[in-house]
Amino acid sequence: MTTPPRKWNRHNWPIAAAMIQYPNVLRDGRSVQDQSVEEWEATLADVVDTGFTELDPTDSWLRLADLSPARLDDFVKLAGSLNLAIPAISTSRRSVIDPEYGDAHLAYSHRVIETAARIGAGSVSLGLFGPLTDAQKAALWFWAVDGVRNPDDPQVWKKAVARIRELGRHAEEFGVELSLEMYEDTYLGTAASSVRFVTDVGLPNVGINADVGNLIRLHRPVEHWLEMVEKVAPYAKYWHVKNYTRVEDPVSGAIITHPAPLETGIVNYRVAIGLALEHGFGSPFLCEHYGGDGLSVSAANRDYLRCILPKTVSSDWETER
C-alpha cells in the first residue's frame, strides 16, 4: 500500500482540547450561546493556561454553526487573539437518523460543514449516537448503562448511509473531511460495522473516528482494542483519543472500567497510532477525558502524544512542498 506523505511532525501536529467538561447551560440558566465575548474568553483562558494551541469547540459546549455570522466572527477573532487554532469541529448526540430530530440534525450537520469551511477547520466529527437517557444521566458513569440503539433495520442503515454520503459530498466541495465516531450500539458500534458503513458511504473524505475508548469502557465483553484498531486504521481520520482502565473478573463475569490517562490505560496508543500512521493517517487529534480535571489530564495526554508522534516530516512531503 502506498501511503500519502506526512505533513506534520510531533512539534506541530494539531492536537485539540475538547470542551466536554464545560456545560452548554450555565448555573444561572443562561446558555453559552448567549455569553459575551469576555465570558467566552474567561473559559478559553483555562485552555490556554494548560498549554493548548488548538481547540475543538465541541458543540456540547458551543454550537458554532448556530451563531450569527457576526458572533461567529467574534469567536474566531477571540480564538486567534489567544493563539488558539480550530482544526476541527465535533458534534455530539445529533444523529441524522434520530427518529424525532433526524431531519433537523441533518440540516444542522450541513451548517457545521459550512461553518468549518468558513473558519478554516479541515475536519468535522459526526456520530449516530442519541441523547443520554434519564438512567444514563443518573449514573456515575453514563456508559455503564445501556442507551439509545440504532435499529436493526436495513432500511434505516441505508438511510444513514445516504445521509452521511450527502454530507460527505457537501464537505468534499470545501475540502473538509468527515470522521464518523465509533460508539456502542450504533452502526459504528464495532470495528467491522464501522468499516462496512464507511465502505458503503464510499467517499474518500469520509472515514472513521477511531474512538475505541468509547467501546473499551463498556461494562460488557468487547473486542480487543488492538483487533479494533487493526481493522479501522486504514480508514482513520480526525481522531478522539482517550483511555480507560478495564478489569474483567473471569469468575463472576464482572467488568469495571474507569477513565485513565492515555499512557496508563488499557489501549497502547504508541502502537495504535503507529498502525494508523502506517496507513497514511494525517488528521488532527482531539484529547478528551471524563472525570476529575479533564482539561488538565487532556493536556498531559497531549504531551504524551507529542512524545510518540514522528520526529520529522516525511521527506517526500518536504519535496512536494
Q: Encode pLDDT of 139-163 as tens digits.
A: 999 999 999 999 999 999 999 999 9
Looking at every residue in the chain, the average pLDDT score rounds to 95
CA nearest 235: which of 193, 263, 271? 193
Q: What is the CATH number of domain 15-320?
A: 3.20.20.150
What pLDDT, on a 0 to 100 scale, did the predictor assign at position 315? 56
In the DSSP assignment, the letter for residue 144 is G
All structural domains of the chain with their residue ranges: 15-320
Residue 47, pLDDT above cutoff 80: yes
Give backbone dihedrals phi and psi of 243, rounded to 5 degrees, phi first: -140, 165
Residue 317, pLDDT above cutoff 60: no
Give, in order, the Cα–Cα distances in Å from 307 to each of 7, 10, 239, 311: 17, 7, 17, 8
Residue 4 confidence class, pLDDT cut points 50, 70, 90: low
What pLDDT, on a 0 to 100 scale, did the predictor assign at position 320? 35
Residue 115, pLDDT above cutoff 80: yes
What pLDDT, on a 0 to 100 scale, did the predictor assign at position 318? 43
228 sits in which H/E element:
helix 225-232
Inter-helix orientation angle 225-232/269-278, to 10°: 20
Q: Encode pLDDT of 243-272 as tens digits.
A: 999 999 999 999 999 999 999 999 999 999
Degrees (nearest 5) of the Cα angle 201, 206, 211? 110
Q: Which residues, at least 6 apart from 184, have a Cβ–Cβ distance to it below 8 Å?
A: 129, 143, 147, 214, 215, 218
CB 89 within 8 A of CB 54: no
